[in-house]
Structure 1
Amino acid sequence: MKATGAVDAVDVVALGESMVTFLPTRPGRLADVPSFDRAIGGAESNLACALAAAGHAVRWVSRVGADGFGDHLLETVGAYGVDVSYVGRDPGRPTGVYFRTAGDRATDAHEVAYYRAGSAASAMSAATVDLAAVRAGRILHLSGITAALSEGCLGLLRELTASAGGGPPVVSFDVNYRAGLWTGSDGAEVLLELARRADIVFVGEDEAELAWGVTGGPSAVRELLPEPEVLVVKQGAAGATAFVSAAARWGLVAQFPAPLKGRYSRRFLPAPVTPAPTPGTFEPAPAVDVVATVGAGDGFAAGFLSGVLRGLPLRQTLRLGHLFAAAALTTPADLAPPPDRDTTDRLTALDAGAWERLRLGPGWTEADAAEEEERTP
């Protein structure tokens, strides 16, 4: 990790644990699979890699072990063009790993075996990461998974989402509720607290019901979370609904270089303000031939933030999220490179009828790239 000093500003900083993933070479129970292929997985590093592949300047901040798996993570994430120079190496703790089953990942009938307890990333805290590097971005992206790793990690997220201090222009928070990582109702309460302190929040309609007992659709989720300036409620294969507060300035992030000295945010208003209620904007998702669901949420968040950074209109931004998610849904790995910008610009500009007829299957991103090459003289 670099020594503290002058820090280059970037578009996005993503902070969180990444692990080495072992993918079975054939479908079946973990007990029956004879061999595995190595890959990487982690909500924040997935997002970082997708955004870097889409042309944004991105930094990943984390901690990994001083081991071969840590080397592999740094090399793989760095190969996407992500700045990994502020990832700490811990000689006393290992890099986390996990194993999962293969062909049935598109259903709930799957196995995942995590070996992350006591990992290097679980030792993240305000004292073990470079806060200047974390804050030197136009957007800081966090997730609820990090909050569950340790008290130090939770304290770090609370500091980064605090109302005072020199934070980044926008805090993005993906709820990412994982019941198995929490004890009792602790996780639900913590995630609600952190979501209410963020500027952009991503949450699935299903996980809002699981964590907080919210029923009644996206509007009910907004009633529970009126504070975020932008709330995106993901509705599975149906699509997603975005709520933008009346006080928010859509496209603000694209208008200013990083880092800003102040935040154009509710947290700099003289008194707490509850945003005026605004109707949600729903955008359907295209039909997708799903190979595996892992990484789709990370892909959606990456696509949406890419649209925010580019200052795209809200509907196009939602569509970009759907397209990045579709790239992940149509590959078996946790991490999928997004479609190129020419492809996404063409598809997000489709009229409503053509968008609703769109169907994406395995290899669609490569096919579009190949077609583009054939059209190029």
Structure 2
Amino acid sequence: MPGQWSVPAPPADHEEPSVPGSAARTPTADTDVVCLGESMVTFLPSRPGRLADVPAFTRGIGGAESNVACALAAAGHRVKWVSRVGSDGFGDHLLDAVAAYGVDTTDVRRDPVRPTGVYFRTATDRATDVHEVAYYRAGSAASAMSPHTVPPDGLPGCRILHLSGITAALSDDCLDLLRALTAPRAGRPLVSFDVNHRPGLWRGRPGGPEVLLELARRCDLVFVGEDEAAEAWDVHGADAVRAALPGPPVLVVKQGADGATVYARGEDGTADTVTTVPGLAVDVVAPVGAGDAFAAGFLSATLRGLPVRERARHGHLMAAAVLTVPGDLTAPPGRAHADRLAALDDTAWGTLRLGPGWTAAAGANEEVRVT
């Protein structure tokens, strides 16, 4: 129910794996996280330049919620992805690729009429103006998700349900589904919501910022970038974001390279504890997918009951893993390695620098430098 801060404990006989999985798990009712949303086949350019000039593309997968699901499963958690894909080859590829990270895909439905969404992008950052993204997702299988096709009472039981504002932008039916999933109800898991304001997806559909604010206020754990809050709601600074979103027990305001500020209300309803955790110095290879990875790291540490500072640090570490590879997804650092880095004192954390290959480091490694 809204207002809860702790996550229900896992079954007493459950052992968290410490090694990332690489194959689909046997379906289980004991699920840590359900991630619901659209994933698409992504075509990545073979070289920098305008889409008109790129001669060839490499196929990948992309989707905020499936990215989170894959990262959490690779980190050893029991995760289900809930969505709809077409009964086509691209749908086959998505299911195979997501399952390869260890995600349970048995609750993904195949649509016999609507296609799987696809998109093409340039090699530059889609979060800036120096980019091109061409979406072919209108009328996709996922846009047909609704309270009828995905009944909230029919979702698998879980400790955390993770959603994003992207789903709300896909169609009126999808918005109805998110409203149903975020409504107060008996037995509701902790609901995590990444605002993910995408103005282009709301084009032609009124009220996008207001809808995102409405949904965020109904959730238990909210992720929002300081920059997107300014763009969507004209609120500036982390404290102003908290004033606009007073309801969620936990609010994570992402501040880019500067780090993140976490507002966490006491379980007894007491005033917020405010924790600001600086970001890391990272030798960036590609800046795409870091927000999803941050959410996965924060959720992973939340499932483990770690303190707020460590939750944010694990978010930064998971984001750094993605920032130092070309694509949206990568294997996260081993749990022991990440725990060691997250436990550094403030001085050592502030001088840490991570480069390509750091996730495979054990102990001292030239790509993990404390200067």
Q: Distance in 2 between matches of 1:370 and 1:146?
A: 42
Q: Distance in 1 between matches of 2:59 and 2:186?
A: 40
Equivalent of 2:55 in 30, 34, 52:
34
**Alignment partner of 1:31: what SS?**
helix
CA contact (8 A) 1:106 1:292 kept: no
Give the letter for the 2:286 counterpart: A
CA deviation digits over 1:58-80, x for unaligned, max 9?
00000000000000000000011
Q: Distance in 2 between matches of 1:166 and 1:128?
A: 21
Q: Does 1:291 align with 2:311?
A: no
Q: Which residue of 2 aligns with 1:259?
A: none
What is the deviation of 1:337? 2.0
Equivalent of 2:97 in 62, 76, 80:
76
Task: Identify if the C-alpha distance between structure 1 residues 279 and 367 changes in structure 2 by more than 3 Å, giving closer, same or farther.
Answer: closer
Q: Which residue of 2 aligns with 1:321?
A: 315
CA contact (8 A) 2:265 2:273 kept: no
CA deviation digits over 1:111-139, x for unaligned, max 9?
11110000000000111125355351100
Equivalent of 1:242 in 244, 251, 262:
262
Equivalent residue runs for 1:113-192 within 5 Å = 113-129=134-150, 131-132=152-153, 134-168=155-189, 170-183=190-203, 186-192=207-213
Q: Distance in 2 between matches of 1:155 and 1:106?
A: 27
Q: Distance in 2 between matches of 1:127 and 1:369?
A: 51
Q: Which residue of 2 aligns with 1:278?
A: 272
Task: Identify if the C-alpha distance between structure 1 residues 150 and 25 changes in structure 2 by more than 3 Å, giving closer, same or farther.
Answer: same
Give the letter for the 2:288 counterpart: V
Equivalent of 1:349 in 331, 343, 363:
343
CA deviation digits over 1:12-70, x for unaligned, max 9?
00000000000111111111111111000000000000000000000000000000000
Give the letter for the 2:235 counterpart: V
Give the letter for the 1:314 counterpart: V
Query: Share of identical aligned residues, percent?
Result: 68
CA contact (8 A) 1:320 1:348 kept: yes
Task: Identify if the C-alpha distance between structure 1 residues 135 and 198 changes in structure 2 by more than 3 Å, giving closer, same or farther.
Answer: farther
**Alignment partner of 2:263: what SS?**
strand
Q: Distance in 2 between matches of 1:106 and 1:355?
A: 27
Moved more, 362-371 or 33-42: 362-371
Q: Does 1:359 align with 2:353?
A: yes
**Alignment partner of 2:272: what SS?**
coil
Give the letter for the 1:180 counterpart: G
Equivalent residue runs for 1:10-49 within 5 Å = 10-49=31-70
Equivalent of 2:74 in 53, 62, 65:
53
Q: Which runs of 4+ in 1 moved over 6 A?
A: none
Q: Distance in 1 between matches of 2:184 and 2:331?
A: 35
What is the deviation of 1:104? 5.7
Q: Which residue of 1 aligns with 2:24?
A: none
CA deviation digits over 1:150-169, x for unaligned, max 9?
1111111100110134422x
Q: Distance in 1 between matches of 2:253 and 2:310?
A: 16
Give the letter for the 1:123 counterpart: A
What is the deviation of 1:280? 1.5
CA deviation digits over 1:250-292, x for unaligned, max 9?
xxxxxxxxxxxxxxxxxxxxxxxxx554242000011011222
What is the deviation of 1:353? 0.6
Q: Distance in 2 between matches of 1:193 and 1:203?
A: 14
Give the letter for the 2:44 counterpart: L
Q: Distance in 2 between matches of 1:203 and 1:14?
A: 17
Give the letter for the 1:364 counterpart: W
Give the letter for the 2:108 counterpart: V
TM-score (normalised: structure 2): 0.87
Q: Which residue of 2 aligns with 1:86?
A: 107
- Structure 1: unaligned runs, 5 residues or longer: 1-5, 249-274, 372-377
- Structure 2: unaligned runs, 5 residues or longer: 1-26, 366-371
Q: Distance in 2 between matches of 1:120 and 1:185?
A: 22
CA contact (8 A) 1:158 1:194 kept: yes
Task: Identify if the C-alpha distance between structure 1 residues 63 and 172 changes in structure 2 by more than 3 Å, giving closer, same or farther.
Answer: same
Equivalent residue runs for 1:224-263 within 5 Å = 224-247=244-267
Task: Identify if the C-alpha distance between structure 1 residues 30 and 180 changes in structure 2 by more than 3 Å, giving closer, same or farther.
Answer: same
CA RMSD of aligned residues (A): 1.8
Q: Distance in 1 between matches of 2:65 and 2:363?
A: 26
Q: Which residue of 1 aligns with 2:83?
A: 62
What is the deviation of 1:7? 6.8
CA contact (8 A) 1:339 1:365 kept: yes
What is the deviation of 1:106? 8.0
